[in-house]
Structure 1
């Protein structure tokens, strides 16, 4: 039975824009109640107003939160429990893309910006951990099907260098491992086997990190060619959860599923084949990697 049904309740972090808001709109179109969480109070209230206008008969509550703040999570979880009969979907989506700030320049810069690493991990890793701790008791209130979806990133799998943001890649790699363990532990215990867990891995999406801040209307959005709209990722999320997929890997208009698979296979084989770390970007390996990935992708498309 799908959690995306009328009168079910979704709790969504990062709900004021991007994928979070698009998923909230999709849930609302399915007749679901909504608990919206974000640290952007202005856009959060705007998102709430738009979703109330979509269907005012359904409950919609907004909660300002820094997801890295465990004490605030405890308060919000208690408020959600008081306002909603039950929680059926938890979508832990809030994240930050942190550029390193330090006194050094060049490739050394991100390795001396420890505060930037901490800020990134507080949101991208401890944010979901705090949410799991606070909301798991609400998912145990009944044994009807429930779902947890956590937003990862392809950068946490293929780990591309450059941009001065290894902290972001590392945080999303941690989220992949965390979510895998969570899925295994929940399905292995009869008391929690009714809670499915899913890792959402968007492709290139025009979100708040790209400048698409707030609950914008996609028909008015000016996005880069090749990027997906947030609503496309939300639709892929629903399809993946309803199919029972753990890894919900989203393509985009530049990169299809076969190319994603080939790139991830190459990254994994760095370990298996004892190649240099991140060999795909190593000078002596660039050409062989590109050729092998292209051939693998073409084979997968057949």
Structure 2
């Protein structure tokens, strides 16, 4: 089956002004694809458009500045993209944000439970952003007479699986856990119907990546970016995504410079076993369980590396 990353196909990417979105758009352009770039950051989005247009002026490149939480803006976007490109082959719903809680209770983590605005902002962007995109573009993908392979990529997070406590994590973790569930249900529904089985769904799960969430804002030249040694560049995530798409993988679980796949798997297994074994929630971080959890995780990761 031909790859969705193919010449003359069209990719629509949210969060395209920087980070993984921009890196994926650049990779798509190198594959000869037309690009519909979407982001809330209009200034950097225009810079991204200029950079990507210069790579191949013969291909279509359009920039659309919208807030993905704005349902009406998506309806307008669907009309504009259809008029310009005809159809979309790769729909990458990648835009996401982390917000800081500003609740009335200032006692450490507790304030995250009193600021409903923090929760609403996070869920509006990270959950309803992808849902708004699906509500407009999924019917267009399904109704297209062109039955060549099409793909939907939703960007999740390891935090939506391992759910680490602390700081302003609860709303972000919850939002990414919800994205995981959405992607799983959508994948099942589409592949279970012969009329939509040509539309694949993929959950991109980046590792530690130096993106706009961490200060790397805008369509930067990675050669000029200073990042921690353990972090991946966004281009590495894009390349890993490309490999996962070509292999037909649903869970595209990215390693990074500090955490390999075996360690990720061991951490996820421990978290799942909290339910099975009846341990305290998030026992990996519980004082009475920390040492045992780390010993088990390291042993399991080593066993996986050795092929046991």
Quick check: 1:48–1:61 contact (8 Å CA) kept in 2? Answer: yes
Please point out which of 269, 273, 292 is paired with 1:269: 273
Quick check: 1:100–1:165 contact (8 Å CA) kept in 2? Answer: no
Please point out which of 167, 172, 187 is paired with 1:168: 172
1:230 aligned to 2:231? no
Q: Deviations over 1:134-160 (max 9, x none)?
A: 111221212111000000000000000
1:296 aligned to 2:300? yes
Any residues of structure 2 matched to 1:111-190 within 5 Å, and which? 111-140=113-142, 141=144, 142-190=146-194
Deviation at 1:237, TM superposition (A): 0.5
Q: Tell me, what secondary structure is at the counterpart of 1:83?
A: helix
1:95 aligned to 2:96? yes
Q: Deviations over 1:175-213 (max 9, x none)?
A: 101100000001111121110000000000000001000
| Number of residue pairs the alignment of both structures matches | 302
Q: Tell me, what secondary structure is at the counterpart of 1:162?
A: coil
Unaligned ranges ≥5, structure 1:
none
1:26 aligned to 2:27? yes
Unaligned ranges ≥5, structure 2:
none
Q: Which structure 1 residue ranges, 4+ long, deviate > 4 Å from structure 2?
A: none
Quick check: 1:227–1:254 contact (8 Å CA) kept in 2? Answer: yes
Quick check: 2:283–2:290 contact (8 Å CA) kept in 1? Answer: yes
Deviation at 1:299, TM superposition (A): 0.1
Which TM-score applies when normalising by structure 2?
A: 0.97
User: Using the alignment, how far apart are the partners of 2:138 and 2:89 within structure 1?
Assistant: 11
User: Using the alignment, how far apart are the partners of 1:160 and 1:241 within structure 2?
Assistant: 28
Tell me which residue corresponds to 2:47: 46
